Amino acid sequence: MRKRKTAKIILISAAAAAVLCVVLLTVCNAVVIRSSSDGVIDASEAGRYDAILVFGCKVGADGTPSALLRDRVDCACALYFAGVSDRILMSGHADTSGYDEVTAMKKRAVESGVPEECIYTDPMGYTTYDSVLRAREVFGFDTVIAVTQEFHIYRAVYLARAVGMEAEGVAAPENGHIPAYSTVYIREPLARVKAVYCALFLPDSRSDGGEGSLGVNNTSINENGEHSHGIS
C-alpha cells in the first residue's frame, strides 16, 4: 500500500511538472512573438537605422558559409544597397580553432560590392543575446534592423529591444534550406524561454562599467563612424 501511494505521488508530481513546462513554454513563446511581431517587417518597409545586424550561423570546415548564412548576408547586402544603413554588423562565433563565421560573412558581403570599411565584425556573438547586447554596448548602436531567418527573427527583435535598442527585423529567405523535420522547430521554442529569462534577469554591462560579460571594454562609434578603439 505504501509503495502504491509513493508511486501515485511521483506520477502526480511528474504530471504537474509536465503541465508547468508546457505552460511556461507557451507563455514565453507568446511573450516573444507578441512583443516583436510589430517589428518584423518587409524589406520594402524598412526605414533608416544605425546598423544592419546580421546573425551568424554555421560555416563549413573550409570557411564556406552555409546556405542559411549566405541568404542572411545577401539579404543584408540588399538592405545596404537600398540605403537602409551605411553600416553592416556581422555578429557570430569565431575561435582559435579556426572556426570563423564573421570572416566568411564579411567576405561574402565584400564580394557582393559592400565597401569593406562599412562592414563591422563581432566574433563574440556567441548567442543572440550576446550579439544584441554587444551591438548596443560595444558598438554603440541605438537603432538596428536585424537579419536572420523567420524562425529566429522574432527572438532577435525581442532581445534587441530588451537591451534598449529600437529594433525591427527582416526575415531572410529560407529557400527550402530548412526541412520540415528540422530540429530548429524544436530548439527555437525552447530558446524563446531562455530569451525571456535573459530579458528579465541577465544584467547588462551598463551596471559595471567595465568588461563585464562583454569580454572587452565598452567601445562606441565616434562621430566619423569609426570605432573608438580596437574592434574590427
Q: Which residues pair with 94 in a beta bridge?
A: 100
145 and 85 Cβ atoms separated by less than 8 Å:
yes
pLDDT tens-place values along the chain, 232 residues long: 677 777 778 888 888 898 989 999 999 999 999 999 999 999 999 999 999 999 999 999 899 999 999 999 999 999 999 999 999 999 999 988 889 999 999 999 999 999 999 999 999 999 999 999 999 999 999 999 999 999 999 999 999 999 999 999 999 998 877 766 578 888 999 999 999 999 999 866 443 333 334 444 333 343 334 433 233 3
> Alpha carbon of 153 to those of 12, 41, 85, 99, 101: distances in Å?
38, 10, 19, 24, 19
pTM assigned to the model: 0.83
221 and 227 Cβ atoms separated by less than 8 Å:
yes
Name the grid cell of 93: 562565433
